[in-house]
Amino acid sequence: MPRDVSRTVHVSATPGTPAARADRPAWTGRRGRPAIGGALRPYRPPTRGASVTDPTARPPIRLVVLDMAGTTVADDGLVLEAFTAAMAGHGVFPGEAAHERMLAYVRATMGESKIAVFRELLDGDERRARAANAAFEEAYDALVAAGRCAAVPGAEETIRRLRADGVMVALTTGFSARTQSAILRALGWQGLADVSLCPADAGRGRPYPDLVFAALMRLGLDDVRAVAVAGDTAADMLTARRAGAAVAAGVLTGAHDTRTLTAAGATHILNSITDLPAILTTADAPVPG
C-alpha cells in the first residue's frame, strides 16, 4: 500500500534529539528538505509564460514557426519545375498520364518532406526515391543559383518585427538542409531567424508535429500553447494542430486555398505573412470569414 506522504506526525523526543515539528511532513528532514531515501519534492508547475492563478490560461505567443517556400519565400512554380526535371531522369515526362498523376500528388502534398513524397511516388523503392530526391535538389538549387529565388514582399520585415517584439522565430522547410541553406544564402537570411530547421533536424517532416517540437526544445520553451505556426499548405496546418499550437495560420501566397487550409485545421486565414503580427494578440478570435 503506498505510503501517505501528506500526513504529519508527532514524534516523542529522545535524549539529545529535538522533537519532530508537528507542521512538517513526515518525509522531510531538517529545514524542510527531503529526507535521504524519502519521497521526491512535491511537484511545482513551471511559471514561465503561464498564469500561476490559472494554469489553464493560454500564455502569450513566444515562438512563431514559419514555413519557407510559399509563405516567406516566393515559390513561383519552382517546386513543380524541379520535380519535373527530377522525374524526367526516371523516364516520366510532361504530357504523360503518369506525370500528371504524380504532379497532382506533389501539389496535394506541398510542404511535406520531399524524400517522403518521392518514396510514395516510387512505391517505396528507397534507392530510386533517394536518386529522385537528389535530382530534385540539384534542379531546385540550380534555379535558386540562377536568381529565381525571392522573398515574399514584407516577409523579412515581418520576421524582424516579431523578433524586435520579443517573439522568437523558427524557419522550417520540407527541403533538405542543403537546399534550405542555399535559399537562406540567396536571400541573405543567414541568422535572420532564431533557428532554421529541416526534417533531418527534427526526425520527421510535416505533417508530423516534429518540426514544431524541435523548435520548441531548441529555443528552450515549455508550452506548445505559446507557439503559432504559419504556412501555405494543408501539411502546415496539420502540423500545427497535431503539435497543439495555439495558432495555425494559413497563408494565401502559396500552394493551397482557403477551403483546403480551413479543412486542414487553420484557425486563421491570412492574405500574407505580413498580417501575422496583428493576430498574435487576438489569437482566440474566430477564424475570419
In SS3 terms, the chain reads as: CCCCCCCECCCCCCCCCCCCCCCCECCECHHHCECCCCCCCCCCCCCCCCCCCCCCCCCCCCEEEEECECCCEECCCHHHHHHHHHHHCCCCCCCCHHHHHHHHHHHHCCCCCHHHHHHHHCCCCHHHHHHHHHHHHHHHHHHHHCCCCEECCCHHHHHHHHHHCCCEEEEECCCCHHHHHHHHHHHCCCCCCCEEECHHHHCCCCCCCHHHHHHHHHCCCCCHHHEEEEECCHHHHHHHHHHCCCEEEEECCCCCCHHHHHHCCCCEEECCHHHHHHHHHHCCCCCCC
The amino acid at residue 151 is A
pLDDT of residue 280: 92
The verdict on pTM exceeding 0.85 is no
Q: What is the pLDDT of residues 177-188, one digit of tens each?
A: 999 999 999 999
What domains sit in the chain, N to C, each tagged with a CATH number?
63-74+151-282 (3.40.50.1000), 78-145 (1.10.150)
Instruction: Give pLDDT tens digits for 9-55.
Output: 343 444 444 444 444 444 344 444 444 444 444 444 444 444 445 66
Query: In degrees rounded to 5, what are phi and psi of residue 231?
Result: -165, 170
Residue 28 confidence (pLDDT)? 43
**pLDDT of amino acid 111:** 87
Residues of the chain with pLDDT under 50: 1-52, 284-289
